[in-house]
Amino acid sequence: MASSDPEKLMSKAEKLTKLSFTRWSADWKTATALFEQAAIGYRMRKDNEKAKEAFEKASKGQEMISSPWDAAKHMESAGALAKDLNRWSEVSDHYRRASELYMECGRSQPASDALAKGARALEDVQPDEAIRLYNDACGILEEDGKEQMAFDLYRAATNIYIKLEKYIDAATSLLRWGVAADACNAVHSQCKAYLSAIIVYLYLHDFKQAQKCYDDCTQVSAFLSSDQSRCASKLLSAYREGDVEEIKRVAQSSIISHLDHAIIRLARKLPTGDLEGIKIDDADEQEPFDEDNFV
């Protein structure tokens, strides 16, 4: 009976991958099976360090025998163990490598999922890297015409931006989400994303950018005729008129209540600054009186 001792399995597998006077070629097929058995044995012993190493070698072995799908699976297992070991840089590296291997198989969905798993593992400890992973995961799906599968990833990235108080990045992420929704005719999601971006700019008390965002978004006919567009218009009008009570009333509306929780929390805090300045700026932008026009 073959030994079930993971140490012996690893030792035997290592020998099969090394050349010697008696072995002129590596036997990666047999070695890979032994690495896999060792990885499972170590994991059952809860020896995560050695289990991670065994899965890494099993992944390499599957690559050597031209099986990128199985190599990706093992790399994901190594990434999960790296998370348990708090090896955060390895978490990112392993899930990124798994994603690359899935792409070698022409499988965009599992490739994106691998990046998302890494991102979720890193959200609390390396949020910036988590955002990069989420954005890269979105990009993979967009390139394959699967924009609708990326909506939850856009939501996750946006929520991290808001937690980090990177509100301009959050708005940019929401607008990108809106473009992706447009590509797959998800009109309702598109309109919600655009309204959310406008709310983020208002939370920043950047009325000019909020108005510009609204003007740009209304170039899209689906948004122009939507309830979300009318809600944004009411908010912007209330800001121009300096009507705090109207801003608060609109922020409590059912349209905003159906947005994501992070956006609702921002909306319920509006306005965040002095509205008099907005009224003055708005008046200053009116065309000045020119006597020459009446000469």
pLDDT digits (tens, 9 = 90+) for 216-266: 999 999 999 999 999 999 999 999 999 999 999 999 999 999 999 999 999
pLDDT tens-digit map of 269-294: 999 999 987 865 665 555 443 444 43
Mean pLDDT confidence for 148-175? 98
Helix runs in 166-242, H state only: 167-183, 187-203, 207-217, 221-224, 227-241
Is 209's pLDDT higher than 50?
yes
Confidence (pLDDT) at 295: 33
Cα 242 to the chain's mean position, in Å?
36
Confidence (pLDDT) at 294: 32
Confidence (pLDDT) at 41: 97
Q: Which two tokens stand for residue 257?
A: 């209540």
pLDDT, averaged across the chain: 93
pLDDT tens-digit map of 7-56: 999 999 999 998 665 666 889 999 999 999 999 999 999 999 999 999 99
Q: Return d(Cα 51, Cα 47) in angstroms, integer.
A: 6
Confidence (pLDDT) at 290: 47
Greatest alpha-carbon span in the chain:
108
pLDDT tens-digit map of 87-135: 999 999 999 999 999 999 999 999 999 999 999 999 999 999 999 999 9
